[in-house]
Amino acid sequence: MAEAPADHEVTRLIAAWREGDEGAREALVERVYANVRAIAAQSLRQMPGATLSATDLAHEALIRLLGSDAAWSDRRHFFHVAAQATRQILVDAARQRLASKRGGGAEKVELDAALGVAANDGDAELVRIDDALRDLQQSDARRAQMIELVYFGGLSRIEVAQALQVSEGTVDRDLRLARAWLRAALEA
């Protein structure tokens, strides 16, 4: 599958940075920032109740990506890792909020306020989804990757097909099966 010119440029910058060109690192950040921010915004739309802004989430994801020792092979790999970083940041933030709700830094609150916190428990749901995705990863890595790319990476089914080098029909089928598996896992 041939890369578009913009895709080729990202792949070229990744290779140049890997070879030690710090200028390529800066150019890579400039080239991918809008995409990483779009991934962050899409992830936040899927996770109501998240306390991070898309900009903060994108910055944190880029910091993790650029600070890691990952050797991305191309643009697709880079954006897949960006989706994983975004997911992990959201899950880590949810786990922190859940820990603080269980008494970390406890303070007195009115009963109505406490009920409002309990009713908006998207953090627990996000942690459950993350745990279920980890289980799915063990049994079917490609389907877990598809869910991650769609829901945390904001990719369309066409982009997922291109990223994983499968047909759109395979994406449709695998996403249906993965969603059913996740629904069953979350209901159990």
pLDDT, tens digit, for every residue of 142-174? 999 898 888 887 778 888 888 888 999 999 999
Residue type present at position 78: F
Convert the pLDDT of each residue in 83-135 to its tens digit. Answer: 888 888 888 888 887 777 655 544 544 434 443 444 346 778 888 888 899 99
**What's the pLDDT at 121?**
63
31-72 confidence digits (pLDDT tens): 888 888 888 887 777 766 667 888 898 889 888 888 776 677
Query: Residue 47: which region, alpha, beta or left (left: phi > 0; alpha: psi -120 to 50)?
Result: beta
Concatenated DSSP letters of 22-75: HHHHHHHHHHHHHHHHHHHHHHHHHSTT--S-HHHHHHHHHHHHHHS-----SH
Q: What predicted TM-score, i.e. pTM, was given to this entire model?
A: 0.67
